Structure 1
Amino acid sequence: MSQVVIIGAGPAGLTLAMLLAQRGIQVKLVEASRSFQRTFRGEALMPSGLEAIEQMGLSDVIADIPHRALDAWEFIIESRRLFRVDEPMEPGGKPCTLISQPAFLAAVLARASQCPNFEFIDGTAVRDLVWAEDRVVGVTLGDNRSIWADLVIGADGRNSIVRQRANLDLDREPQSYDILWFKLASSQPFEAENIFYSVLAGSDGFGLFLGSEGQLQVGWSLEREESAPADKAWQQLDWVEKLATASPDWLAAVFREQADSLEKPFLLSVTVGRAPRWHMLGLLLLGDAAHPMSPIRAQGINMSLRDAIVAANHLVPLFQQSSFASAALDRVLPQIQAEREPEIIKVQQLQRAEIAQGELLRNYPLLRYGASRIVPSIPFLQRRIRQSWIDRQLQLRRGITSVSLTV
């Protein structure tokens, strides 16, 4: 019987494993960790991600795990509000929804595990690929086991071992920043209304929101030279005061009130890029293994879910045939990349545009002054800037291409 081996039990790997297993395909899912708990996991489902969840039959899972819709987005520059946009952004649309990704992954695993043709191998990393001439025919695990497969799918993240062992290149975009990630106890203003705040003061900038599990989460933009291993200055800072100083008075009071709960920051090294080739004979890359996304506007989990749907559409009919033909698989894998790549390219372009706008404000004090003092006093100009931001977000929220589960 033909078999698929998927490496990496993140959103792309786990949902694809479930879709294949539910349709009678033999699937082994390999995950290096023994737990889905990590310091950082993306939480935001945009309408495109929520639509993918619905198509996969997982809407009830979202209802049963910790989740929280965003009520609005607000931009604060030099302690003054530039503009606010309420959720949902479109009439009758869905709001951006924050979910507990560990709880989501555990629930999807439980759903997949109901299938007798599904096997989950956790706590064991992939060491290498198994080759037969120029074709990948399986993997070797860290415990020296070898698993044969008609198709190996690498969904093992931005530092993909599968991609490295296959010698598939990753074209990395130059990045000028990393992210310091903080968590702290919530406060009453956020319980009443969950707003994603983007805050800029001088050259300091951060995002703040109430996460799905009830903690405030802060992503502080750190210049890349500041996060270099040789520079440990950020580890010595009084982050309560650093955050408070960059904030308007009401938010500064929140940071000081919750000072004792502020956790030590986690450095999230930002990698963005795209593999020119996502496939080779017997192997396919998906999710961040193929196209690591910027954290800007939370696209990673949404793109991974849509990758899984497109891959399932192409792979299920092939593996459901009475006799498996590797030549047919060789024709299908390029089609998956061809269908997904245009959306990935456009989304990464939109993310770069968001970053460029932020860098302009950070680097030019006169522009910050105009944004914080002049724009709010001219309603027409404020509306134009607000609508320009919404227009960019609508593309990121809806998805660029149509993705529908057809199998």
Structure 2
Amino acid sequence: MTQVVIVGAGPAGATLALILVQRGIAVKLVEASRTFGRVFRGEGLMPSGLDALKQMGLSSLLERIPHRALDAWEFTVENRFLFRVDEPIESGGQPCTLVSQPALLQALIDEASVYANFEFVQGNTVQDLLWSDRRVVGVKLGDGRELAATLVIGADGRNSTVRQRANLSLEQQSHNFDILWFKLADSPKFESENVFYSILQDRHAFGLFQSSEGNLQIGWALHEDDSSDWKQVNWPEMLASNSPPWLAEHIRTHADTIERPVLLSVVVGRCPSWWTSGLLLLGDAAHPMSPIRAQGINMAFRDVIVAANNLVPLLREGVGDAAIDVVLPKIQAERSPEIIRVQQLQSQEAAQAELLGKSALLRWGASQLAPLVRQPIRQSWLHRQRQLRQGVTPIKLTV
């Protein structure tokens, strides 16, 4: 019987598993973690990701789990309002929506679990790949079990074990920051509208929003040339001293709710090849994305649609291994143009923030001349967002 082994139950792995089992294909989904409740999981669904879920018939899942649409994006420089953009950005379009990713993943697994041809292997790591005549034919688990497969899908994230065991290289792009992630008590300011605040003060840049589960989350850009030891910083005071007055007051009042920050090491890059015989990489395993504008989960869903379009007809028919291997590079070829362009746009966004961060004169000019520069800066930002929100290439589920 045709069997697919998917490694990694993140957005790409869990969604693809459900799509395949719904179409009669046997799937074993392997996940190393015993719970989906990691400290950080990206939760921003752009219109491109929402559209992908709709095409896959999964929009109703959002109604059953914590989620909340963003109402606006607002930018401040040196404690001066720069500009604001209301959601949805496009006339008649969908607003960016924040969703509890752990709840979404669990809902996807629950949906797949009603099918007899699905098995979820949780809390078990993949130690190695199984090979026969230079073709991947399965995986070996940490407990010694071996799972045979017609096709192995590596969807196990930016530090993919599957990628390493398959000797598929990752060409990393340069980046100059990591992210420190904080959670703190909610603020009444977010009751009426949920605004994503981007704040630049001195050289410090951070984003603030209300998560789908009701607390506030802060992503602080930790630059590579920052000489201070972030583990020793008085973070409540550091955050407050670089915040607008309303936020500074909230942070100081609720300083005891600020959890120890989690360091998110940013990895950005692409694999020259996403595949080898019997194996395909998807999502961050193939092309780890920058955290800018929450592209990881959205690109993963779009990867799944293209992979399903190419693989489902072959897997249903039980064709030979050679026929499956032929479509693997086609999947990469179809997805690469969008991934390359989105990473370019993310890089442009990061470069602009870096330029402002390094130049006190530019920050002063942006804050003092805000009424004059507001519109051209706003239009430049909007121009970049269209493809980051809608995607670059048309994607349509056909199976």
CA distance in 2 between partners of 1:251 and 1:385 (Å): 24
CA distance in 1 between partners of 2:126 and 2:381 (Å): 42
Aligned Cα root-mean-square deviation (Å): 0.9
**Runs of at least 5 residues in structure 2 that lack an aligned partner in the other structure:** none
Please state whether the residue corresponding to 1:218 is helix, strand or coil: strand
**Once the two structures are superposed, what CA deviation does each residue of 1:373-394 show, in whole Å capped at 9, x if it has no partner?**
11x222xx32121111111101
2:34 is the counterpart of 1:29: no
2:301 is the counterpart of 1:305: yes
What does 1:185-196 correspond to in 2, within 5 Å? 185-196=185-196
2:252 is the counterpart of 1:265: no
**Once the two structures are superposed, what CA deviation does each residue of 1:125-162 show, in whole Å capped at 9, x if it has no partner?**
00000001210001000001011101000000000000
1:285 to 281, 287, 291: 281
| 1:225 Cα deviation after fit | 4.8
CA distance in 1 between partners of 2:70 and 2:367 (Å): 24
**Once the two structures are superposed, what CA deviation does each residue of 1:152-181 show, in whole Å capped at 9, x if it has no partner?**
000000000000000000000112111000
* Residue 343 (structure 2) aligns with: 348
**Once the two structures are superposed, what CA deviation does each residue of 1:67-88 show, in whole Å capped at 9, x if it has no partner?**
0110000111000011000000
Please state whether the residue corresponding to 1:247 is helix, strand or coil: coil
Please state whether the residue corresponding to 1:298 is helix, strand or coil: helix
* Residue 69 (structure 1) aligns with: 69
1:240 to 236, 243, 266: 236
Q: Structure 1 vs Structure 2: percent identity of aligned residues?
A: 63
* Residue 119 (structure 1) aligns with: 119
What does 1:88-127 correspond to in 2, within 5 Å? 88-127=88-127
* Residue 368 (structure 1) aligns with: 363
2:199 is the counterpart of 1:207: no
| 1:232 Cα deviation after fit | 7.3
CA distance in 1 between partners of 2:222 and 2:124 (Å): 33
1:331 to 301, 326, 330: 326
CA distance in 1 between partners of 2:205 and 2:360 (Å): 14
CA distance in 2 between partners of 1:383 and 1:201 (Å): 21
* Residue 132 (structure 2) aligns with: 132
Whichever residue aligns with residue 58 of structure 1, its letter is L
**Runs of at least 5 residues in structure 1 that lack an aligned partner in the other structure:** none
Whichever residue aligns with residue 355 of structure 1, its letter is A
TM-score of the pair, normalised by structure 1: 0.97
* Residue 165 (structure 2) aligns with: 165
| 1:298 Cα deviation after fit | 0.6
**Once the two structures are superposed, what CA deviation does each residue of 1:81-134 show, in whole Å capped at 9, x if it has no partner?**
110000000111000000000000000001111111111100100000000121
* Residue 45 (structure 2) aligns with: 45
| 1:326 Cα deviation after fit | 1.1
2:184 is the counterpart of 1:197: no
Whichever residue aligns with residue 303 of structure 1, its letter is M
* Residue 399 (structure 1) aligns with: 391
* Residue 274 (structure 1) aligns with: 270
1:377 to 353, 371, 381: 371
Whichever residue aligns with residue 383 of structure 1, its letter is Q
* Residue 11 (structure 1) aligns with: 11
Whichever residue aligns with residue 313 of structure 2, its letter is P
2:123 is the counterpart of 1:86: no
CA distance in 1 between partners of 2:285 and 2:256 (Å): 37
| 1:224 Cα deviation after fit | 2.4
Whichever residue aligns with residue 389 of structure 1, its letter is W
